[in-house]
Amino acid sequence: MCLGIPARIVKVKGERKSLADFGGGVMREIDISLVDVREGEYVIVHAGFAISVIDEEEAEETMKIWRLFSDTETSELR
């Protein structure tokens, strides 16, 4: 119930509704009234409502930091 699932905005249908792609062939209509979102963007969906837009640049930044941990030679982190 409280699970947040990422989905891609496929087709905005009016002010509140949009078709969203949850992956694996699952498409569902969701409510987008709580966010400002464009087609093609990813959102976190909670109980049928998009609650946040995923920032892809931030996602890349996070990955960069993490990558440092898998490199055993690194001395950049302490």
Q: Which residues bind other proteins (CB under 8 A)?
A: 1-4, 6, 8, 16, 31, 33-36, 42, 44, 46-49, 51-52, 54-56, 58-63, 65-67, 69-72, 77
User: In this complex, which beta carbon is closest to other proteins, that of residue 11 or of residue 74?
Assistant: 74
Cα three-residue angle 60-69-53, rounded to 5 degrees:
25
User: What's the token pair of residue 39?
Assistant: 């087609």
What are the φ and ψ backbone dihedral angles of 10, each rounded to 5 degrees?
-100, -50
Nearest approach, Cβ of residue 1 and other proteins (Å): 4
Point out which residues pair with 24 in neighbouring strands.
Answer: none
* Smallest gap from residue 10 Cβ to other proteins (A): 14
Strand partners, 3: none
Minimum gap (Å) between residue 64 Cβ and other proteins: 10
